[in-house]
Amino acid sequence: MKRRKINLLYIVGPFPVLSQTYIQREIIEMLHARDLDVRVIHFQQGDENIPLPPELISKISNISNPGRLKVLVPNASEFLRSPIRYLDLVRLILFGKHVRLAQKLKDLASLRFGAWLSTEVRNLDIDHIHAHWATRPTLIALVLSKFLGIPFSFTAHAHDIYLEPILLKEKISSAKAVVTCTDFNRNYLANSVSPGDREKIFTVYHGVDFKTLRFGRKKVNKVPVVLAVGRLVTFKGFSYLIDALDLVKKQGGDFKAVIIGGGPEFGNLKSQIKEKNLAGSIKLLGELPFEEVKKYFKEADIFVTPSTMTLEKAFDGLPNVLIEAMASKTPIVATRVSGIPEAVKDGENGLLVAEKDAKALSKAIQVLLNDKELRKKFGEAGYRKALRMFDIEKNVKSLKRVILQEKD
């Protein structure tokens, strides 16, 4: 007798998002599993200009807030079906740890939404729920899990762990498994929960598809190209990169630099480039689709990730663009922040420096500008490491084993 496929429901926030292509890649790879039937629910429209394959589009449902009146009957129905279960969820939200009172009100709204959604998906025979981000998507996954009597898991990333740890311990306690993208995060989470919950927390790195992510031969540049990619927000550290490149220029370094990304710091960074008279050396391109970014990876001689930690605990986990740079055989200059040293070993596939240190950053960039053979050595080593650590097919198989608790 042929076994029924496992029905896996993904719950995400905005989708798709250019800075979260790793989620899109993961779900597409999950679709390839023959024993799974994958569905995706998201609550907010992402970037409609991001192309999605037809096999993924057919699995996606964008479900917006149905309004207060429409959720009343399903919530009353769930309450009557199991008043203790419903009141336990209310108690969890009212007495659980929140940073702000306003967040409790939002979470109560998510409870009402989750109760309504449970009636909408009950006939889909869902076997498992997996959410991305330990914020609203995971709370709704928890609510669905309670009302439908099925297990859930979630992936925690960055701000949802450190900036917005909303009911995080409670969510970990209720989940079947918890995944995060760096050992740095896993160790932090393990140290913040009870000993009994530590064994359910796993590291599964994001991945890239080496079968389709073909960069070809590196372009040979007369003047070395320094590349940086990311959202233009403070903790990405691009202001320190501009300061570092200014020092390189003053010391006679010859380079062309490209910074790709959109965000609130665009104007400040543009002004900083102008004030330092670097407009002829640094291009600030704004946000570009990934196919365009790939062309710059192919041209780049050095990739810089100048990440920082802010006082508010905003920082990178392990930037996906750094993984893509390694896959393109580009040597790395980066800071010792969060999970970055897990991918970049100093002196092996790149150079690591302290955060917020423009002088140290400039010296590392200068070392690679002056040594073509070292750049090639680091680039090849980074590619081999990326193949070992960040292959999407291998890592999604690991994720599937973890969240569904399959045996090897």
Integer Cα distance of 180 and 132 in angstroms: 10
Is the domain of 177 the same as that of 235?
no
Asked if 31 and 38 count as a contact pair (C-beta separation under 8 A), the reply is: yes
Q: Give the pLDDT band of residue 2 (cuts 50, 70, 90).
A: low
How far apart, in Å, are the Cα atoms of 322 and each of 84, 330, 390?
Answer: 48, 9, 11
Is the domain of 180 the same as that of 283?
no
Q: Give the pLDDT band of residue 220 (cuts 50, 70, 90).
A: confident
Is the domain of 380 the same as that of 400?
no
Is the domain of 36 the same as that of 173?
yes
With respect to residue 153, please indicate whether it lies within any of the assigned structural domains.
Answer: yes
Model confidence at 95: pLDDT above 60: yes
With respect to residue 363, please indicate whether it lies within any of the assigned structural domains.
Answer: yes
pLDDT digits (tens, 9 = 90+) for 384-401: 999 999 999 999 999 999
Is the domain of 242 the same as that of 182?
no
Q: What does the pLDDT read at residue 408? A: 63
Is the domain of 241 the same as that of 196?
no
Asked if 361 and 340 count as a contact pair (C-beta separation under 8 A), the reply is: no
What stretches of 149-263 show up as alpha helix (H) in DSSP?
A: 159-162, 168-174, 183-190, 195-198, 238-250
The number of domains in the chain is 2
Is the domain of 261 the same as that of 395?
no
Asked if 378 and 352 count as a contact pair (C-beta separation under 8 A), the reply is: no
Model confidence at 1: pLDDT above 70: no
Integer Cα distance of 407 and 284 in angstroms: 48
With respect to residue 1, please indicate whether it lies within any of the assigned structural domains.
Answer: no
Of 157, 131, 127, 84, nearest to 316 (Cα)?
157
Asked if 240 and 266 count as a contact pair (C-beta separation under 8 A), the reply is: no
Q: Give the pLDDT band of residue 211 (cuts 50, 70, 90).
A: confident
Is the domain of 136 the same as that of 243?
no
- Structural domain harbouring 242: 225-389
pLDDT digits (tens, 9 = 90+) for 241-256: 999 999 999 999 999 9
Model confidence at 41: pLDDT above 80: yes
Q: What does the pLDDT read at residue 286? A: 94
Is the domain of 400 the same as that of 309?
no
How does strand 302-305 pair with strand 332-335?
parallel
With respect to residue 236, please indicate whether it lies within any of the assigned structural domains.
Answer: yes
CATH code where residue 86 lies = 3.40.50.2000
Q: What does the pLDDT read at residue 18? A: 87
Residue type, 289: P
**Mean pLDDT along residues 12-29:** 94
Q: What does the pLDDT read at residue 195? A: 94
With respect to residue 10, please indicate whether it lies within any of the assigned structural domains.
Answer: yes
Q: DSSP states of 299-337 as a string? A: H-SEEEE-----TT----SS-HHHHHHHHTT--EEEE--
Is the domain of 369 the same as that of 396?
no
Q: What does the pLDDT read at residue 215? A: 76
With respect to residue 215, please indicate whether it lies within any of the assigned structural domains.
Answer: no
- Give this prediction's pTM: 0.93
Is the domain of 279 the same as that of 140?
no
With respect to residue 220, please indicate whether it lies within any of the assigned structural domains.
Answer: no
Q: What does the pLDDT read at residue 99? A: 66
Please tell me whether the peptide bond between 165 and the residue prior to it is cis, using omega within 30 degrees of 0. no
Model confidence at 230: pLDDT above 80: yes
pLDDT digits (tens, 9 = 90+) for 341-360: 999 999 999 999 999 999 99
Q: What does the pLDDT read at residue 313? A: 85
**Mean pLDDT along residues 305-314:** 92
Is the domain of 202 the same as that of 232?
no
Q: Give the pLDDT band of residue 216 (cuts 50, 70, 90).
A: confident
Average pLDDT score over the chain:
94
What stretches of 83-223 show up as alpha helix (H) in DSSP?
A: 83-95, 101-121, 136-148, 159-162, 168-174, 183-190, 195-198
Asked if 246 and 276 count as a contact pair (C-beta separation under 8 A), the reply is: yes
Share of the chain above pLDDT 70, in %: 99
Q: Give the pLDDT band of residue 45 (cuts 50, 70, 90).
A: confident
With respect to residue 218, please indicate whether it lies within any of the assigned structural domains.
Answer: no
